[in-house]
Amino acid sequence: MLISFTNSLSAAYQNGLYAKNLKTFLSYEAKIPEDQDGLPIPERVETLELKDVSFRYPEQDGEKQEKYALKHVSYTFYAGKRTALVGHNGSGKSTLIKLLMRLYDPTEGCILLNGIDIRKFNLQAYRSLIGTTFQDFELFSMSVVENVILQKLETEEQRERAINALRESGALEQMEHLEHGVDTILTREFDDNGAVLSGGQAQKVAVARSFAKDAPIVLLDEPSSALDPVAEYQMYETIMELCDAKKVGAEQQKKIAIIISHRLSSGAMADTICLMQEGEMKEKGTHLELMQKRGIYADMYLKQAESYLQDAAV
């Protein structure tokens, strides 16, 4: 009892610490005006291309950022392909995701959707193509289902969609065990009646958001850092399956999936792995190709595997 209370306490504390959901994230970070016109978005997403993209964060408190967070990155993401972005902390992975979402525009170079500069599209319409889960998401004091669809529950269809998404992210069974099942109100306050989720459960609910949106572009920035390696592996397997070109019906859009993970074993499932180092995309290829190359990725992979084996032996 004491243990489980302490666990949920620390999880709640963590969730509070990471209390930055997309909305606050957007309002703090986005430097791009929301109310622009622009081209309508294409019916099908085929490619998302970074073309010699370099990026420096805008100046803060009058202080110019000298350092480039991204340097000459060129890469094309294809519909139906799953890409894992890996690299040490500060290597530019999250920055790349922020640029793809148009929270910022590149300092140099450009990003193209189906060959068209993303700055030409209506910003809101462009962002509607993207389902994201960030490492620092926030859950709200509303029901589990509403936390997934991110609006007040109005129709049975929305409820179905949320439940399916919870099933896909692996959260459904746990949510069904809450007092009012998926209609249980979540909270971070200790003194009211809502349920407080563990860090891992909260992450699965947050990932369900990007499934419920069913967007053609899925961007996941370390969505599983609170999960243990096995749970993370399972979550990645589901994500990979959902984005798998072979498994989507003919009328459905093949997804572009970009997933950041600090555990390389999870990224190994992706079609392509891109290794970032100090703002540059240094290596790209399948897990096998990069292992055979014996470069930075192979080195990191072997070191991580070794440290997991040591942990397991303790």
- Interacting partner of 87 out of Mg ion, ligand ADP, none (Cβ under 5 to 8 A depending on kind): ligand ADP
Residue 220, strand partner residues: 133, 259
Element (H, E) at 163: helix 156-169
Cβ closest to ligand ADP, residue 68 vs residue 121: 68
Give the whole-angstrom CA distance, residue 277 versus residue 298: 14
Q: CB under 6 A: which stretch of 7-15, 74-82, 91-99, 153-161 binds ligand ADP?
A: 91-99
Cβ closest to ligand ADP, residue 138 vs residue 222: 222
Residue 49, strand partner residues: 76, 112
What is the nearest approach in angstroms of ligand ADP to the Cβ of residue 172?
30
What is the nearest approach in angstroms of ligand ADP to the Cβ of residue 138?
18
Structure tokens at 36: 């622009």
**Residue choice 47, 49, 57, 231 for contact with ligand ADP (CB under 6 A):** 57
Return the residue matching tokens 């709640």.
12
What is the nearest approach in angstroms of ligand ADP to the Cβ of residue 288?
24
Identify whether the C-beta of residue 13 lies closer than 8 Å to the C-beta of residue 190.
no
Residue 238 CB contacts under 8 Å (≥ 6 apart), including other chains: 168, 169, 170
Identify whether the C-beta of residue 297 lies closer than 8 Å to the C-beta of residue 273.
yes
- Interacting partner of 95 out of ligand ADP, Mg ion, none (Cβ under 5 to 8 A depending on kind): ligand ADP
Identify whether the C-beta of residue 113 lies closer than 8 Å to the C-beta of residue 43.
no
Residue 31 in the binding site for ligand ADP (CB under 6 A):
no
Give the whole-angstrom CA distance, residue 88 versus residue 106: 22
- Interacting partner of 57 out of ligand ADP, Mg ion, none (Cβ under 5 to 8 A depending on kind): ligand ADP
Give the whole-angstrom CA distance, residue 128 versus residue 90: 28
Element (H, E) at 76: strand 70-78
Sites for ligand ADP among residues 92-121 (CB under 6 A): 92-95
Give the whole-angstrom CA distance, residue 289 versus residue 298: 9
- Interacting partner of 109 out of Mg ion, ligand ADP, none (Cβ under 5 to 8 A depending on kind): none
Cβ closest to Mg ion, residue 94 vs residue 253: 94
Cβ closest to ligand ADP, residue 65 vs residue 292: 65
Residue 65 in the binding site for ligand ADP (CB under 6 A):
yes
**Residue choice 94, 169, 198, 253 for contact with Mg ion (CB under 5 A):** 94
Q: CB under 5 A: which stretch of 90-98, 108-116, 150-158, 279-287 binds Mg ion?
A: 90-98
Give the whole-angstrom CA distance, residue 12 versus residue 127: 30
- Interacting partner of 90 out of ligand ADP, Mg ion, none (Cβ under 5 to 8 A depending on kind): ligand ADP
Give the whole-angstrom CA distance, residue 261 versus residue 222: 5
Identify whether the C-beta of residue 76 lies closer than 8 Å to the C-beta of residue 52.
no
What is the nearest approach in angstroms of ligand ADP to the Cβ of residue 74?
17
Residue 89 in the binding site for ligand ADP (CB under 6 A):
yes
Residues that bind Mg ion (CB under 5 A): 94
Residues that bind ligand ADP (CB under 6 A): 57, 65, 69, 87, 89-95
